[in-house]
């Protein structure tokens, strides 16, 4: 008697729903056991993960991971392994921040005696009421237009940054996995330099602080009450998702982006320059990542750009890497991206809830946020990959 | 003729022997296709057994089941009378069956001996490179194959690689060597070498299983022929007791009527020149000139056939005409409605937009995307869709083409990978003929197609030339094909055109110039 593996003729829809659900459940059981073995009580872990799924704060990660998941899905489907969403987000932050701080509004010194009259003007905000050198921010254009420009320039910058590895790949055949990853660290360093010198705020007096001024509050995105997600990022997530679905379904651009991932030689043989589509896939991917970057820095909870003290915790919250998991879990099927964006967002949120619980209840464990986040995400991913085999293959007994 | 009568021709003598390989009631289905329906087969020791069928008949599926690449849905396999469960090539090899595939599976940077010792290890035997070298020299002598075991594989020609695969089978102690369309890509003289090997192997007690879609090949070399049609066994006949016509009838059934006509009716066409090529010089991938000062012109509705022994610059010429390779010198011009466009090195996008179809060499690798649907493989062509895709229109166009070209597929939205090799080729030819408004450039346009499909494709090319004034430049390794469809035949040798013939010339005359 032997067990043999046979490819299924058709994947049943039961598998389609059942496998993700089952992998989440089994993955959570495994992570419970892992945490239990190092002293985290199972009931605490489960409680926090469940509250992660219900927390209104999860919605913010959900929106951002949807945008980023769609962005990465586009390049992955074209067989371009864009690991550089982090750097593209950073450039989105820089360009969006520049527009907010120097184009749509600007900060200036005023004389202390004039401060009260400025403060009463519409569109003016006092950034620093220091009696010696007060700083104000003056709005220079309609704030809606300003926000739109922030997003557009952020997308453009993210897209252009992504074009660097794309050009290297398309015309010099240089592997994009290495270049996109390295460029993330280049982006972090450039960000630090620009934020510390060129974009450094007038209101930042102390020598040891390196950051920009606060963005004019009229230019900050608007929070949906009771959550930390902004209206703008939620709208962007919906628009991008729908637009990309439509592009894939109804345009030759989408079709070619798909085909470049399966057989670029076909494009060449029918007279389409496949290199242009490599550039396009990366540009679109970088644009969406840039938009995600803008929405992080324009969140009222942040509202400024600040020097990265430690590259392990950049302002992107490492979502550019986390989103790789989102696109893999959805197996590059765009329709599944929001579902897994929600699952990963919940685990992300659940883990940070768990972290604060552990820090207060069990400080001796000294677990970091990353360990807490990636144990459940990793366990689920592994189980998913194993179970997924059963969707495509069945196991039979032969005698 | 009833199909029943084919079964009665099984020979008495063979039945007394027990079959070396035997398949019983095999069933296998793929998404939307029933690839094998209740197939049973007996292969006896010491015979060359041909499995014949048109594209998509199930030949490859049957062979892949015997070799453990596929597992049947139902049915059993027996090797020398013992029931065997074959789930991997290792199992098949252990039972004495080795496959020689169309594409040699060798690592280019290793020597022959290193490659073979690797594959021994893969099948669970351990042997040193030195021992393998010695064995190769011995076997080479025994079978009259000159071979240097220490030469790197990338230096070998295609035929030599094929022979290495054959030696590998001997090394693995094969009782049965299966050839999967292994001769399709070989030039005629090289085929003879392979046939000679098969006969020698047989005389030493070995068994050969030859999977092919070419009737003459089966007739020439085999002892018995089993014909498959649409996944079912039509019958097994003894080669010495059958005729080409009988086998054809078994293979194509009611479609046979499409095979009858001889040459095509040609009108004398005195059209205006459409494609003019002047003093073209093209380099090969290795930097040497592959095409040296070629000039010709093709008129409206005219078909120019480029004959020649493989590797004399035909491929480079065709690629340059399609805009995929740079011309170093010379001009390619198109004349459309009185105006003239210089398309030399203008890029494939412009050339394809102007209405030039292209059938590439290695068609399935370069001209089809297996992970995409048939519809997507059609509409990918820039001439067939603008920015927005009207899927209803695409569906209609695709189903028209599927009907017209007799493409065997579950549906127009099936992924290309469920189709057989011949049907993939038909999808490609269908797409390219649809977009060839002005001209078609092609390299081996019917490679891998069975006789009926190949003839059908040629007929479509000719009728498109006659009815719509399309001109064509077609390079082919198959001289019969060139002679069948061309108005003018140009023979290439060492990068130059060494002879131009109007149709009606004899085969011998052309062959003389080809090698001269």
Q: Are A293 and A90 in contact (CB under 8 A)?
A: yes
pLDDT at B7 over 60: no
Q: Which of A44-48, A149-153, B9-13, B508-512 has the lowest mean pLDDT?
A: B9-13
pLDDT at B127 over 80: no
Please tell me whether residues B128 and B249 are part of one structural domain.
yes
Task: Name the DSSP class of B214.
Answer: -
pLDDT at A115 over 80: yes
Q: Do B367 and A259 touch (CB under 8 A)?
A: no
Q: Do A252 and B386 touch (CB under 8 A)?
A: yes
Distance CA B239, CA A147 (A): 81
Please tell me whether residues A148 and A240 are part of one structural domain.
yes
Please tell me whether residues A157 and A246 are part of one structural domain.
yes
| Cα A107 to Cα A98, A127, A215, B182, B316, distances in angstroms | 12, 8, 9, 76, 64
Q: State residue A357's pLDDT score.
A: 83
Q: How confident is the model at residue B449 (pLDDT cuts 50, 70, 90)?
A: confident
Looking only at the bridges linking them, the beta strands covering B488-493 and B496-502 are antiparallel
Q: Are A162 and A286 in contact (CB under 8 A)?
A: yes
Identity of the residue in A9, A253, A271 whose CB atom sits nearest the CB atom of B349? A271
CA closest to A392 among chain B residues: B31
Residue that is last in its domain, among B203, B224, B257: B257
Q: Do A6 and B370 touch (CB under 8 A)?
A: no
Residue that is last in its domain, among B435, B455, B476: B435
Please tell me whether residues A242 and A265 are part of one structural domain.
yes
Distance CA B492, CA B473 (A): 13
Please tell me whether residues B252 and B294 are part of one structural domain.
no
pLDDT tens column, A339-356: 989 988 998 888 888 888
Any domain includes B502: yes
- Mean per-residue pLDDT for A356-373? 75
CA closest to B379 among chain A residues: A252
Q: Do B380 and A266 touch (CB under 8 A)?
A: yes
Any domain includes B262: no
- CA-based nearest distance A2→chain B, Å: 8
Any domain includes B32: no
pLDDT at B4 over 60: no
Q: Do B372 and A258 touch (CB under 8 A)?
A: yes
Q: How confident is the model at residue A380 (pLDDT cuts 50, 70, 90)?
A: confident
CA closest to A251 among chain B residues: B388
pLDDT at A191 over 80: yes
pLDDT tens column, B359-409: 998 787 889 998 899 999 999 998 888 889 999 999 999 999 999 888 888
pLDDT at A242 over 90: yes
Q: Do B372 and A259 touch (CB under 8 A)?
A: yes
Higher pLDDT, B352 or B12: B352
Please tell me whether residues A171 and A272 are part of one structural domain.
yes
**DSSP string over A221-285:** PPBPTTSS-BHHHHHHHHHHHHHHHHHHHHBHHHHHHHHHHH-HHHHHHTT--HHHHHHHHHHHH
Residue that is last in its domain, among A320, A347, A376: A320
Angle between helices A58-77 and A252-262 (to 10 degrees): 70
Any domain includes A114: yes
Q: State residue B263's pLDDT score.
A: 45
Any domain includes B21: no
Pick from B315, B342, B367: which is nearest to A271 by CA?
B367
B366 CB neighbours in chain A (<8 A) are 265-266, 268-269
Residue with the two structure tokens 């464990």: A365
Please tell me whether residues B307 and B425 are part of one structural domain.
no
Contacts 24+ apart (CB under 8 A), B246-255: B246/B1, B247/B52, B247/B215, B247/B218, B247/B219, B248/B215, B248/B451, B249/B1, B250/B3, B250/B6, B251/B52, B251/B53, B251/B54, B251/B57, B251/B215, B251/B227, B251/B450, B252/B54, B252/B451, B252/B452, B253/B229, B255/B452
Please tell me whether residues B317 and B292 are part of one structural domain.
yes
- Mean per-residue pLDDT for B197-223? 89
CB half-sphere exposure, A298, CA atoms < 13 A: 36
Q: Do A265 and B365 touch (CB under 8 A)?
A: yes
- Mean per-residue pLDDT for A59-85? 95
For B191, the enclosing helix (H) or strand (E) is helix B188-203
Q: State residue A103's pLDDT score.
A: 95
A275 CB neighbours in chain B (<8 A) are none
Q: Which of A328-332, B67-71, B258-262 has the lowest mean pLDDT?
A: B258-262
pLDDT at B56 over 60: yes
- Mean per-residue pLDDT for B462-490? 88
Please tell me whether residues B60 and B154 are part of one structural domain.
yes
ipTM of the complex: 0.81
Q: Do A253 and B387 touch (CB under 8 A)?
A: yes
Please tell me whether residues B340 and B369 are part of one structural domain.
no
Q: What percent of chain A has pLDDT over 70?
A: 94
Q: How confident is the model at residue B13 (pLDDT cuts 50, 70, 90)?
A: very low
pLDDT at A70 over 90: yes
Cβ–Cβ contacts within 10 Å for residue B507, how many? 11
- Mean per-residue pLDDT for A320-341? 88
Any domain includes B198: yes
Distance CA B42, CA B233 (A): 12
- Mean per-residue pLDDT for B181-196? 75
Please tell me whether residues B238 and B295 are part of one structural domain.
no
Q: How confident is the model at residue B117 (pLDDT cuts 50, 70, 90)?
A: confident
- Mean per-residue pLDDT for A118-144? 89
- Mean per-residue pLDDT for B61-88? 90
Q: How many structural domains comprise chain A?
A: 2
Please tell me whether residues B366 and B442 are part of one structural domain.
no
Q: State residue A148's pLDDT score.
A: 96
Higher pLDDT, A20 or A65: A65
Range of the domain at B373: 361-435
A261 CB neighbours in chain B (<8 A) are 371
Please tell me whether residues A314 and A244 are part of one structural domain.
yes
Residue with the two structure tokens 């196991």: A395
What residues contact residue A182 under an 8 Å CB cut-off, 6+ apart?
A: none
* Residues on chain B bordering chain A, Cβ-to-Cβ distance under 8 angstroms: 29-31, 71, 73, 85, 87, 322-324, 347-349, 351-353, 358, 360, 365-372, 376-377, 379-382, 385-389, 391
Any domain includes A375: no
CA closest to B435 among chain A residues: A270
Distance CA B323, CA B317 (A): 10
What residues contact residue A397 under an 8 Å CB cut-off, 6+ apart?
A: A1, A2, A3, A4
Pick from B319, B324, B249, B254: which is nearest to B290 by CA?
B319
Q: Do A266 and B368 touch (CB under 8 A)?
A: yes
Any domain includes B489: yes
Average pLDDT, chain B: 84
Q: What is the CATH number of the domain that holds B510?
A: 3.40.50.300
Q: Do A4 and B85 touch (CB under 8 A)?
A: yes
Please tell me whether residues B124 and B213 are part of one structural domain.
yes
Please tell me whether residues A200 and A148 are part of one structural domain.
yes
- Mean per-residue pLDDT for B459-481? 87
Distance CA B432, CA B486 (A): 19
- Mean per-residue pLDDT for B258-287? 71
Distance CA A354, CA A347 (A): 10
Q: Which of A79, A247, A271 to mutate: most B Cβ within 10 Å?
A: A271
Positive or negative: CA dihedral B434, B438, B443, B449: positive
Please tell me whether residues A114 and A175 are part of one structural domain.
no
Please tell me whether residues B147 and B106 are part of one structural domain.
yes
B372 CB neighbours in chain A (<8 A) are 258-259, 262-263
Please tell me whether residues B372 and B313 are part of one structural domain.
no
Residue that is last in its domain, among B257, B285, B303: B257
Q: State residue B238's pLDDT score.
A: 92
Residue that is last in its domain, among A320, A354, A371: A320
Q: Which of A181-190, A334-343, A357-366, B286-295 has the lowest mean pLDDT?
A: A357-366
- CA-based nearest distance A273→chain B, Å: 7
Cβ–Cβ contacts within 10 Å for residue B478, how many? 15
pLDDT at B261 over 60: no
pLDDT at B11 over 50: no
- Phi, psi torsion values for A32, nearest 5 degrees: -60, -45
- CA-based nearest distance A394→chain B, Å: 12
Please tell me whether residues A156 and A187 are part of one structural domain.
yes
Average pLDDT, chain A: 89
Any domain includes B16: no
Q: Are A300 and B401 in contact (CB under 8 A)?
A: no
Q: Do B376 and A270 touch (CB under 8 A)?
A: no
- CA-based nearest distance A1→chain B, Å: 9
Q: Which of A17-26, A288-297, B20-29, B40-49 has the lowest mean pLDDT?
A: A17-26
Please tell me whether residues A118 and A181 are part of one structural domain.
no
Residue with the two structure tokens 């929106």: A63
Q: Do A265 and B31 touch (CB under 8 A)?
A: no
Please tell me whether residues A127 and A259 are part of one structural domain.
no
Q: Do B380 and A4 touch (CB under 8 A)?
A: no
Residue that is last in its domain, among A120, A139, A158: A139
- Mean per-residue pLDDT for A161-172? 96
Any domain includes A274: yes
Q: Are A391 and A11 in contact (CB under 8 A)?
A: yes
- CA-based nearest distance A78→chain B, Å: 12
Q: State residue B10's pLDDT score.
A: 42
Higher pLDDT, B189 or A266: A266
| Cα A48 to Cα A12, A42, A58, A346, A382, distances in angstroms | 34, 10, 12, 10, 22
Q: Do A262 and B371 touch (CB under 8 A)?
A: yes
Q: How confident is the model at residue A190 (pLDDT cuts 50, 70, 90)?
A: very high
Q: Do A271 and B376 touch (CB under 8 A)?
A: no
Q: State residue A146's pLDDT score.
A: 95
Q: Do A272 and B368 touch (CB under 8 A)?
A: no
How long is chain A? 399
pLDDT at A197 over 70: yes
Higher pLDDT, B514 or A162: A162
Distance CA A123, CA A117 (A): 13
- CA-based nearest distance B165→chain A, Å: 28
CB pairs under 8 A between A and B: 93
Q: Are B221 and B229 in contact (CB under 8 A)?
A: no
Range of the domain at A121: 105-139
Q: Do B379 and A252 touch (CB under 8 A)?
A: yes
Q: State residue A238's pLDDT score.
A: 97
Collapsing DSSP to helix, strand or coil, B96 comes out as coil
pLDDT at A330 over 80: yes
Q: How confident is the model at residue B212 (pLDDT cuts 50, 70, 90)?
A: confident
- Mean per-residue pLDDT for B104-133? 80
Please tell me whether residues A247 and A278 are part of one structural domain.
yes
pLDDT at A57 over 80: yes
Please tell me whether residues B305 and B374 are part of one structural domain.
no
Q: How many structural domains comprise chain B?
A: 3
Distance CA A133, CA B43 (A): 98
* Residues on chain A bordering chain B, Cβ-to-Cβ distance under 8 angstroms: 2, 4-6, 9-10, 250-253, 255-256, 258-259, 261-263, 265-273, 398
Ranges A39-48, A178-187, B196-205, most confident: A178-187
**DSSP string over B57-76:** SSHHHHHHHHTTSS--SEEE
Please tell me whether residues A96 and A154 are part of one structural domain.
yes
pLDDT at A236 over 80: yes
B368 CB neighbours in chain A (<8 A) are 263, 266
Positive or negative: CA dihedral A367, A369, A374, A377: positive
Taking the complete model, does pTM exceed 0.80, yes or no?
no
Strands (E), B258-344: 273-283, 289-299, 303-307, 327-336, 339-342
pLDDT tens column, B141-174: 888 777 888 888 887 777 778 888 888 888 888 8
């Amino acid at each position: 008697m032997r067990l043999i593996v046979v490819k299924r003729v058709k994947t049943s829809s039961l598998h389609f729903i059942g496998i993700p659900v089952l992998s989440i459940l089994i993955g959570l059981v495994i992570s419970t056991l892992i945490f239990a073995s190092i002293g985290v009580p199972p009931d605490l872990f489960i409680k926090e993960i469940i509250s992660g799924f219900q927390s209104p704060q999860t919605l913010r990660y959900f929106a951002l991971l949807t945008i980023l998941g769609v962005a990465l899905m586009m390049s992955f489907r074209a067989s371009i392994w864009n690991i550089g969403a982090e750097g593209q987000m950073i450039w989105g932050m820089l360009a969006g921040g520049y527009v907010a701080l120097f184009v749509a509004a600007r900060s200036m010194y005023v004389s202390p005696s004039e401060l009260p009259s400025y403060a009463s003007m519409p569109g003016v905000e006092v950034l620093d009421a220091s009696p010696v050198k007060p700083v104000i921010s003056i709005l220079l254009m309609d704030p809606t237009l300003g926000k739109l420009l922030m997003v557009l320039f952020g997308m453009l910058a993210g897209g252009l940054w992504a074009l660097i590895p794309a050009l290297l790949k398309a015309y010099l055949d240089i592997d994009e996995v290495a270049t996109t990853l390295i460029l993330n660290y280049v982006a972090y360093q450039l960000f630090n330099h620009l934020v510390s010198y060129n974009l450094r705020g007038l209101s930042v007096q102390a020598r040891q602080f390196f950051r920009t001024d606060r963005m004019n509050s009229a230019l900050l995105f608007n929070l949906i009450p009771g959550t930390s997600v902004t209206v703008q990022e939620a709208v962007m997530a919906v628009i991008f998702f729908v637009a990309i679905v439509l592009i894939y379904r109804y345009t030759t651009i989408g079709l070619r982006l798909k085909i470049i991932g399966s057989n670029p030689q076909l494009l060449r043989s029918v007279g389409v320059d496949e290199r242009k589509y490599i550039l396009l896939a990366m540009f679109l991917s970088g644009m969406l990542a840039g938009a995600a970057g803008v929405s992080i820095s324009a969140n009222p909870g942040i509202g400024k750009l600040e020097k990265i003290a430690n590259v392990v915790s950049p302002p992107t919250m490492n979502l550019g890497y986390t989103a790789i998991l989102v696109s893999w879990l959805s197996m590059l099927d765009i329709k599944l991206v929001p579902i897994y964006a929600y699952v990963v967002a919940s685990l992300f949120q659940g883990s940070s809830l768990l972290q604060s619980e552990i820090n207060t209840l069990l400080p001796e464990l000294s677990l970091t946020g990353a360990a807490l986040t990636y144990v459940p995400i990793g366990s689920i991913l592994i189980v998913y990959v194993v179970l997924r085999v059963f969707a495509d293959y069945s196991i039979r007994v032969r005698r | 003729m009833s199909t029943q009568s084919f079964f009665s021709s099984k020979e008495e003598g063979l039945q007394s022997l027990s079959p070396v390989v035997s398949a019983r009631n095999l069933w296998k289905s793929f998404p939307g296709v029933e690839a094998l329906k209740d197939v049973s087969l007996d292969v006896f020791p010491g015979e060359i057994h041909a499995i014949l069928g048109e594209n998509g008949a199930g030949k490859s599926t049957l062979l892949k089941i015997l070799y453990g690449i596929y597992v049947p849905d139902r049915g059993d396999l027996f090797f020398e009378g013992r029931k065997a469960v074959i789930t991997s090539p290792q199992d098949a090899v252990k039972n004495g069956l080795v496959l020689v595939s169309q594409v040699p599976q060798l690592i280019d940077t290793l020597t022959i001996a290193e490659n073979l010792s690797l594959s021994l290890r893969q099948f669970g035997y351990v042997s040193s490179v030195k021992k393998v070298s010695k064995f190769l020299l011995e076997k080479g002598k025994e079978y009259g194959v000159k071979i240097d075991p220490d030469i790197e594989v990338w230096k070998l020609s295609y035929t030599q690689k094929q022979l290495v695969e054959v030696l590998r089978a001997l090394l693995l102690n094969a009782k049965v060597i299966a050839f999967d369309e292994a001769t399709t890509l070989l030039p005629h003289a090289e085929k003879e070498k392979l046939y000679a090997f098969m006969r020698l192997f047989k005389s030493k007690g070995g068994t050969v299983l030859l999977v092919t879609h070419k009737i003459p090949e089966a007739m020439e070399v085999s002892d018995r022929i089993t014909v498959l049609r649409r996944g079912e066994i039509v019958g097994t006949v003894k080669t010495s007791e059958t005729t080409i016509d009988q086998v054809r009838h078994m293979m194509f059934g009611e479609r046979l009527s499409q095979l009858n006509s001889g040459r095509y009716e040609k009108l004398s066409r005195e059209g205006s020149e459409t494609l003019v090529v002047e003093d073209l010089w093209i380099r090969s991938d290795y930097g040497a000139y592959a095409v040296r000062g070629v000039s010709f012109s093709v008129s409206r509705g005219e078909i120019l056939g480029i004959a020649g022994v493989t590797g004399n610059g035909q491929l480079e010429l065709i690629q340059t005409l399609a805009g995929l390779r740079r011309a170093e010198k010379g001009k390619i011009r198109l004349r459309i409605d009185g105006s003239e466009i210089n398309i030399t090195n203008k890029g494939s996008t412009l050339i394809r937009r102007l209405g030039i179809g292209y059938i590439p060499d290695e068609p399935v690798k370069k001209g089809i995307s297996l992970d995409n649907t048939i519809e997507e493989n059609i509409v990918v062509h820039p001439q067939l869709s603008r920015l927005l895709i009207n899927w209803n229109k695409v569906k209609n166009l695709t189903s028209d083409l599927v009907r017209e070209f007799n493409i065997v597929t579950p549906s127009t939205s099936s992924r290309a990978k469920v189709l057989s090799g011949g049907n993939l080729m038909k999808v490609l030819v269908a797409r390219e003929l649809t977009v060839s408004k002005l001209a078609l450039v092609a390299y081996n346009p019917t490679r891998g197609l069975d006789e009926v499909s190949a003839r059908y494709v040629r007929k479509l090319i000719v009728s498109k030339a006659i009815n719509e004034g399309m001109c064509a430049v077609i390079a082919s390794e198959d001289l019969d094909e060139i002679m069948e469809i061309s108005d003018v035949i140009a023979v290439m040798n060492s990068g130059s055109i060494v002879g131009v013939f109007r149709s009606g010339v004899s085969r011998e005359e052309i062959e003389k110039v080809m090698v001269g």
